[in-house]
Amino acid sequence: MNIPPRASRTHLVLIPSYNPGTKVFETVRSARAQWSPVWVVVDGSTDASAQGLQAMAAQDNNLQVIVLSRNVGKGAAVLHGLDLAAAQGFTHVLTMDSDGQHPAPLIPDFMAASIAQPAAMVLGVPVFAADAPRLRVNGRKVSNAWANLETLWAGIGDSLFGFRVYPIEPLRRVMQGQRWMRRFDFDPEAAVRMCWQGVKPVNLPATVRYFRADEGGVSHFNYLRDNLLLTWMHTRLLLGFILRLPLLLARRLRGA
C-alpha cells in the first residue's frame, strides 16, 4: 500500500458501507493510497465485511472503522461519522461509496479544491462509461432538474453523485434540524439544503464505474422503493423552496 506521508488534521475521507461485498477492501485500500485519514462507517452490515475492515485497521493507524449495530441508512451513517469527526476537530469530509464506483485517484484533487474554497461544497459530476446502465443515467436527469429548480439554479452539477467534499458544521446543522436525509435521499437533499444555507457548490468531473455482479458489483438500489423515496423528497423540498423563494430571490439579486 502506498501510504500518504502525512495525515490531514482538517479533511478526512468518510465511507459509509452496507453489505458491499469484497469490493470494499479494494475501495478502502485505494482511498488510503491517496489520503490519510480514512474512516469507514459500517452500517449494520451482515456480510462479514466489518471483520475484514477491522483487521485492516489493526495494521493501519490512519484507517478507522466504526461499526454500527444495526442498519440505519446511508445518511444516518454519514451523520454518525460527522459527529465523531467534529468532536476530533476535523472541518471537512469527502464522502464516497464503498462499492468501488467512485474514483479514489481523484481524492487529492477534490480535497485541494475544498482547501482552496473551504466554505464551499465540492460536488462530483459523474462521467459515465459507455456501459453504464441507461436507466440509471437517464433517471438522474429528473432529480437534477428538480434540484436545480429548488435552488434557483444555484449550480448543482449533479444531485445524486455521492463523491463530494462537505464542510462539516453546515451539513451537521442541516441534518440535525430535520428528520430527513437519513437514507438514500441523503445526497440530493444535502446538496439542495446546503445551497439554501448559502453554501456554494463547486463542480468537478469524476468518472464513475458500475460493476457487474460477476465483477463483484453489489447494488442495493430498488427502483420502485427508492424512486418513491426521491419523489417524496422532492415534494417536500419543493414546498420548502416555495417558502424560501423570497430569500433565494433576494440572494440571487445580490449575487450571493
Angle (deg, nearest 10), helices 134-150 and 186-196: 20
Q: Does pLDDT of 215 surpass 60?
A: no
- Residue 149: burial class (beta carbons within 10 Å; 0-12, 13-18, 19+): middle
pTM for this predicted structure: 0.90
Q: Does pLDDT of 163 surpass 60?
A: yes
Higher-pLDDT residue of 4, 185:
185
Q: Does pLDDT of 132 surpass 80?
A: no
pLDDT at 196: 96
Q: What is the mean pLDDT of residues 71-92?
A: 97
pLDDT at 114: 98
Q: Does pLDDT of 5 surpass 60?
A: no
pLDDT at 153: 94
Q: What is the mean pLDDT of residues 68-83?
A: 96
DSSP state of 131: T
Mean pLDDT of the chain: 90
> Cell triple for residue 217?
458489483
Q: What is the mean pLDDT of residues 237-246?
A: 94
pLDDT at 70: 95
Pairing of strands 92-95, 164-167: antiparallel
Q: Does pLDDT of 222 surpass 60?
A: no
Q: What is the mean pLDDT of residues 152-156?
A: 95
- Residue 235: burial class (beta carbons within 10 Å; 0-12, 13-18, 19+): exposed
pLDDT at 137: 72
Q: Does pLDDT of 249 surpass 70?
A: yes
The residues that bridge with 164 in the sheet, in sequence order, are 95, 123
> Which range (77-91, 205-219, 225-239) has the least confidence?
205-219
Domain boundaries, the chain: 11-254
Q: Which CATH architecture has domain 11-254?
A: Alpha-Beta Complex (3.90)
